Amino acid sequence: MAHLPDIEANGATRKGRTGFVLTQSGRKVLWAWSFLALPILFYSWIRFYPTLSAFWISFTDWDLLRPANFVGLENYQKLFADPVFWKVFRNTFAYLIIGTPISLLLSFVIAYYLDKVTFMHSFLRALYFLPFLTTAAAMAWVWRWFYQPIPIGIINGILSNLHLPAQQFLRSPAQALPSIMVTGIWAGLGFQIIIFMAGLRAIPSTYYEAARIDGLGEWAILRKITLPLLKPTTVFLVVFSSIGFLRIFDQVYNMTSNDPGGPLNSTKPLVMMIYQTAFSSFDMGYAAAQTVVLFLILLVVSLGQLFVLRNR
Amino acid sequence: MRKRFTLASLVAGISFMALSSAQAVEIEYWQYVFETRVNAMDQLISNFEAANPDITVKQVTFPYADYQTKVIASQAGGNGPDVLQFFYGWLDKFQQGGVLQPLDEAVFPTAEIESEFFPIVSAVKRDGAYYGLPTAVRSLALFYNKKLLDEAGVAPPTTLDELVDVAMQTTKTDGGGNITSEGLTLDFAGQDHHWWREVLVRQMGGEPYDANGNVSYATDAGLQALNFYTDLQTAHNVGLVGFMDEGQAAFKAGLAAMTVDGTFRLGAFSAITDFEWGVVELPANADGVRSNYASYFANGIGSGATEEKKAAAEKFLAYISSTEAMQVWLDVVGELPARRDAALTEANLADPIYAPFLKGLEYAHTTTFVDEAGQRQTAVDMVNRVLLENQDPQASLDEAAAAEQAMIDAAKK
């Protein structure tokens, strides 16, 4: 932008019919804003306006059919007193705190070794990426059948052949959440591997050559060169994957559709509670209050991660 | 001269077209997606349009999971359907929200409705006015797999004790004790919660709800009914909740000897070719007490339909709740006619499949739901707490009763 005054000084001026004068740079700015106006208006209307109105709705008892009444903090009081909310809150953080590190660790390890493989490299990479292209609902249903009891569940079939006791998986309040999380991790793996590999490829090979000439071991190279230089990629994936796990819905809904978020709310994430409150009980005010809480969680988690992983 | 004649005929033609277009009314009919229901309605619409050339009916369908949301959202947006199908349990919400208008007494006289339809039609009556009329009604019965019962050498059960006995003899397990073929499907989220609420609780001597609509099953009778149900899995090991994902899937695959299900399943089960199946009334208790749960989808007129659209909607509603339409519905969907004369024909009463359902209608009860999905969930959780968390059945029953009562209280507010 430093060259702007120059242009303004030499810029031609023009007298329009209306008489106001625009310098060349002024016209550039006007053009830029007229192009930007459309997406800005669109986003304000489609994104920001509903976001703000959600805050307002959360203070009302709107049920879609009757006019909304202002009820103050009643929805929030109800929310914090609701044992289901706290269970759902714990589930949401379980998805996040267990899911994100495991998925990142797995995808890094796979990307790290896949990067070194030259034999059928493209084919293997495509294989890992394939689940990411599949519809979440279709994947969830396939996994749902994997987890079934005997005689149709393939995992229980294998356990039975090994003379191990059958597991309840999705029918067990303790096992259901990890069972669904495995699917979630597997579904996101392909994308994370590709991003990690792009990050690895972007590290100049001269650094590695220099390190090897200096006699550094592989472990030291990984710790001193690869990981630090991979940091922007890691930050992106941590934030991206965290938001993904905080918003998990498709897998849970499709794998537990007989008893959504069950058994006994053991797999229900906050997003599903919002969905049910809004579109099954039609309690829009209460659902909006839950949405505001989810928004604040996402905000705090994202800002916290950016702060922790910032460049010092 | 010829020119003038041409002009005159042209004017006449135009005015005739204008006249007929003023008479032509298009009304919108909404229901949820279920193949046989959509097909039956297509057939009814073409019959109706042939008889009423000035009315066109446009059928609009949505997936079941989105259906209520679509109706309510369209009401909020002010462009709802003229005629719509709704579950009787949604009426309170739809009536309070102004989705439906009451039926005109002059067109649909109350006395006529009450004498010609089965008494459960009164579940869509509020403050003396009807808000809809059903085409078909549903009741429950016990489906059994003839092949599996013959293999075990047992006859279909008529009492609850026989039910347990037959289920035990038809259950197959592998070496590890895992069930490979169920005696009786256990699917509380399916129809079993109705079986428990309106049938088992009553057979144990209780009442699920009192006269004011409050929960009254947290008693000894409720406890016995709950124990009877959970014992099927824990004590008798004749079924497993979640086996083959859903009870109807297990029965359809030939991996369950018996299942409690409704008339609406007849269409799906008629596709079974691997084995013969039959239907009997739900088992009686030791004293011969029987009960059943009946429900229905009614068709009502949207509050947005006025003047000629309202008249067309009334004509269409009258047709789809006529005896003729009910026969089409029975043939295509397999659901029982809602009018007594259409249902209780000699042919139907002699039919081995329809007869048990029709008998069930005579002693059936209809639950007044305030939040159908929510109340079902409390019942599902009640059974899950006992089966999965080993909670004391009495405690689980009390918890379910309190949760359901809270929903009923909230709806009355």
Using an 8 Å CB-CB cutoff, list chain A residues near B189: 258-259
Question: Domains plus CATH for chain B?
Answer: 25-138+295-365 (3.40.190.10), 140-293+370-412 (3.40.190.10)
Which pLDDT tens digits describe chain A residue by residue (312 residues)?
444 444 444 444 445 455 567 788 888 888 888 889 988 898 888 888 988 999 999 999 988 877 888 999 999 999 999 999 999 999 999 999 999 999 999 999 999 999 888 888 889 888 888 888 888 889 999 999 999 988 888 999 899 889 888 898 999 999 999 999 999 999 889 999 999 999 999 999 999 999 999 988 889 999 989 999 999 899 899 989 998 998 899 999 999 988 899 899 999 999 999 999 988 888 899 999 999 999 999 899 888 888 887 766
ipTM: 0.79
Euclidean distance between CA atoms A54 and A288, whole angstroms: 5
Provide the terminal-to-terminal Cα distance of chain B, rounded to the nearest Å. Answer: 77
Tell whether the model's pLDDT for residue B83 goes beyond 90: yes
Q: Which residues of A2-34 are buried (b: 16+ CB within 10 A; e: fewer)?
A: eeeeeeeeebeeeeeeeeeebbebeeeeeeeee
Residue A148 at interface with chain B, using a CB cutoff of 8 Å? yes
pLDDT band, very low/low/confident/very high, at B176 (cuts 50, 70, 90): confident
Mark yes or no for CB contact A259/B174 under 8 Å.
no
Report in angstroms the alpha-carbon separations of A256 from A143, B56, B399.
11, 41, 23
Omega before A269 within 30 of 0, i.e. cis: no
pLDDT tens for residues B185-207?
A: 999 999 999 999 999 999 999 99
Euclidean distance between CA atoms A57 and A50, whole angstroms: 10
Element (H, E) at B91: helix B91-96
Tell me which chain B residue has its CA closest to the CA of residue A164.
B176
Task: Please give, rounded to a whole number of angstroms, the shortest distance from the CA of B160 to a CA of chain A.
Answer: 27
Residue B179 at interface with chain A, using a CB cutoff of 8 Å? yes
Mark yes or no for CB contact B178/A166 under 8 Å.
yes
Tell whether the model's pLDDT for residue B19 goes beyond 60: no
Report in angstroms the alpha-carbon separations of A81 from A74, A267, B115, B413.
11, 20, 50, 20
Residue A171 at interface with chain B, using a CB cutoff of 8 Å? yes
Mark yes or no for CB contact A64/B72 under 8 Å.
yes
Mutation pick from B90, B388, B389, B409 vs chain A, by most beta carbons of A within 10 Å, is: B388
Task: Please give, rounded to a whole number of angstroms, the shortest distance from the CA of B394 to a CA of chain A.
Answer: 17
From the list A98, A118, A121, A82, the residue with the least C-alpha distance to A241 is A98
Question: Domains plus CATH for chain A?
Answer: 4-57 (no CATH), 76-308 (1.10.3720.10)
Q: Are B18 and B73 in contact (CB under 8 A)?
A: no
pLDDT tens for residues B283-310?
A: 999 999 999 999 999 999 999 998 899 9
Considering only the beta carbons, identify the residue of A145, A149, A282 that sits closest to B240.
Answer: A149
Using DSSP's 3-state secondary structure scheme, residue A129 falls into: helix
Element (H, E) at B299: strand B297-302
Q: Are B334 and B36 in contact (CB under 8 A)?
A: yes
pLDDT band, very low/low/confident/very high, at B217 (cuts 50, 70, 90): very high
Take residue A151 and report the two structure tokens written for it: 């005689």
Tell me which chain A residue has its CA closest to the CA of residue B98.
A65
Pick the residue with more confidence: A68 or B131?
B131
A202: buried, middle or exposed (CB in 10 Å: 19+, 13-18, 0-12)? exposed
Q: Are B353 and B265 in contact (CB under 8 A)?
A: no
Euclidean distance between CA atoms A54 and A51, whole angstroms: 5
pLDDT band, very low/low/confident/very high, at B4 (cuts 50, 70, 90): low
Residue B411 at interface with chain A, using a CB cutoff of 8 Å? no
Task: Please give, rounded to a whole number of angstroms, the shortest distance from the CA of B115 to a CA of chain A.
Answer: 34
Using DSSP's 3-state secondary structure scheme, residue B239 falls into: coil
pLDDT band, very low/low/confident/very high, at B9 (cuts 50, 70, 90): low
Tell me which chain B residue has its CA closest to the CA of residue A258.
B189
Residue A23 at interface with chain B, using a CB cutoff of 8 Å? no
The predicted model scores a pTM of 0.82
Report in angstroms the alpha-carbon separations of B264 from B136, B141, B397.
10, 11, 30
Tell whether the model's pLDDT for residue B381 goes beyond 60: yes
Residue A163 at interface with chain B, using a CB cutoff of 8 Å? yes
The residue whose two tokens read 């599996």 is B148
Average pLDDT over residues B215-242: 96
Using an 8 Å CB-CB cutoff, list chain A residues near B75: 64-65
Considering only the beta carbons, identify the residue of B73, B255, B388 that sits closest to A151.
Answer: B255
Give the contacts of B84 (CB within 8 A, at least 6 positions apart).
Answer: B29, B30, B31, B71, B99, B100, B299, B300, B302
Mark yes or no for CB contact B72/A65 under 8 Å.
yes
Considering only the beta carbons, identify the residue of A152, A172, A264 that sits closest to B244.
Answer: A152
